[in-house]
Structure 1
Amino acid sequence: MKIYHWLEKDFKRRVFFAVLMTGFISTATVLLVFAASEQNTLQENIIKLLMRQDSLTSTARVQQFTNERERNDGVVSSEKGKNLKIEKRIPAWKLLLEDFQTKATFYDPEGHYIPRLLEELATTEIKNISTMRRGTQLKFWIHFVDGNQAIAKPMRDPKDLYITYDTSTSYLMERERHTAEIAAFHLDRIFDFRRVPPCTGRLLNFTSEIIMKTNDRSLLHTQTTKDGNQCFVGKCRWTFLCNESALTCAKGGLLEVSVCQAIPNLAEVKDYWYRWKTLFDRSENQLRRDCENVKKEAVFNGHNFDLDFFEAVAFDHLTVNQDRHHYKILKSNTTDAVGLSLLDNGKGFGNPLVDDPTFLLPFKICCRFRNSTYWKFKEFTKPDQMLGDQMRASLAQDPINPVLTNDFFPALDRRLSQILSELDRCIKKFGRDVVLLED
């Protein structure tokens, strides 16, 4: 009402107000037009994006549909009519646990998810790390942020340090080699035994991935330095393996470790004492009795593991692992599947220049072996398939390659030939049908 009286008194005021209102209306009109234009552009962009996304989804569907092993790559899919639903990628370790539970081996025979599992073990963020209390050696228990767990063994000695095997010095005095765990997995996978847990190398940042990820007093309270590198004493059952003169040290702030998939509590496990643990202490008559006893004892859930044990002896001869004291038999909780496992290989691969002939005694005395494995071993003696070359190529994929020194590759070829020579001698003496047996 006040504005009306103000305009009524003066014509100029009315003209000024009219011009002002016209400008306001024009500005508002322009803004509305601009907003409408922007909305149309936004709608067009959204439509284009949806069309592009639909195109990508169609490509993904085709790729998914043509992939025969989508499960092994961790993609779960379900088909409803013509629509293929792609769900979240499953971590590789969950696929491994599924196979472990149903097949009683550490992974599926095709094992398409193994490369991805090794990558996960080598790169997944660590949630917590602590020392393991069981066993005589220093090792870590790792919890990852994705829920997986692993056992890690740190680098204690240089890779080119060879163990001098001497009967006057017990193998128990050896410090475990992190590289032996990695190499044992690769050798086991080449033979398709699937008895060794997947294992890879990894470089851990001493500060951010160990010290800042642990509440373990044996790590936090034993920190020290040596030659400018961060170290800790740690805690071992045997103090001579963890003390001021046996430190575990990083190099340039990084600690090299092996990271091996932890065994889940999903399958029944039965321990067997390794009868050939102290072969050099036994007479030939005792070894002959052991041959017969293994036949009787190596039975679990209706399955005979006699031939599996001889394969394990061959494996230990190739790696020269004198620390094999037990075998574990795994039984699935959901099927009748059973399998032999070869755990704790940290004292293998100690010296490629020295062989241990005592590992050959079971072949020499017992004269029996699995037929299919014999012929598999024969294949790895062909010039284009030599075991050493296969091992070199396999280990080249590991993050901390070189895992082994070059001396180990011809050593594998030499030791494999020694096993086959003993078996061929048995075949010549007793006949192939007696020595080479089927399951």
Structure 2
Amino acid sequence: MTAETLTVSRLGSGGDGIADAPGGPVYVPFSLPGETVAVARVKNHGTILSIAKTSPERAEPPCVHFGPDGKNGTCGGCTLQHAGDALYHAFKRDLVVNALKSKGLVADVAPLVIARPGERRRVVFTARRTEKGMLLGFNQAGSHHIVSIDHCPISSPGIVSRLGTIRRVAGAIATGAEPFRITVLETLTGLDLAFEGVKKVGDRERRAVTECVLATRGIARVTSDGEVLISPERPEIDFGGVIVSPPPGGFTQATKPAEDAMADIVLAAIGKAKRVADLFAGAGTFSLRIARKVRVHAVEGEEKALKALDHAARNTQGLKPVTVEKRDLFRRPLMASELKAYDAVVFDPPRAGAEDQCRELARSGVKTIVAVSCNPLTLARDLAILTAAGYRIRLVTPIDQFLWSAHVEAVAVLEK
């Protein structure tokens, strides 16, 4: 380890400041462009010892768990609370701009749709039983150390106000000292707690969880690795006026404002299309909204999510026909010949993107394509496939729903 003084020139894609040193770039967490910092350096990683010159863009972090001096350790949930809004918003938009440039794509990139504190309705905690009680919080960056939290400015008030309840339920289900995960989703009927990795959940733990949940309010369901332990209420979320009961731990957009913004773009883009395919449809985030206007074919590889979508469609009045298909689109993408039946196609894949599916879309001639992505790099790769086949990118909109992180969503609208 060596100590040296560096000048930070830019932010890297992970949110760390980058300083150019004789031996190559040095990554300095919690620093900002233009700052001069004294760091303890190990290879290409620098830990701030002091800041000699502070950026005017530096902001006071709103959370005591953030930063190198965070209470009980540095929470790894956020990386950019120290950046002012202008710098932070530009950074998020540039993640999309730079990804497109890396593939030689020229596109109109809209201003960032911003995220605000308290909007996160889905949060994944790590928990572990210790001699002093239950640890509940987030892992420190690059570590298995759990930073115990008592509040969280990104999370919804409905989650933060029930941290004590979540901790008690975790204590009732825990059987050993191994860490486990809890996906917490705030639904219309209460919190949906999905535990993963809890070993040897027996009758005693089930009884303890039941007693704990019945003694309090605000918990709709508790599951362990998909098994329902107790469900006083049916968890419900609203997809544009269609009520859906999501599967335990299933994918849901992290914030409703971001979901609504993405859905608005999707619905505007499909326009007067008469038949739409929604690929990687999940539990119906877009399909069920589209069905308010036009018939839709929803394709998804995860059976429980597809069943939730289908059940909601069948039990909602006023929708256009919704058909569903269970299909692994990575192994078996819809072929160009199948896609020709649709006027518009929407796809929202996991972080790996939809490379093979885009090759079939490129051959299909579908008039309108809407690409929704949580990974600008794979989005750019997929868009390059489509533009090479003659599609024109009409607009790309970056959307923030993972506040103070280095993750950004984007929606691209293409036409042919």
Superposition TM-score, scaled by structure 2 size: 0.28
Higher helix content, 1 or 2? 1
Q: For CA contacts below 8 A with separation 6 or more, give which structure has more relative contact order.
A: 1
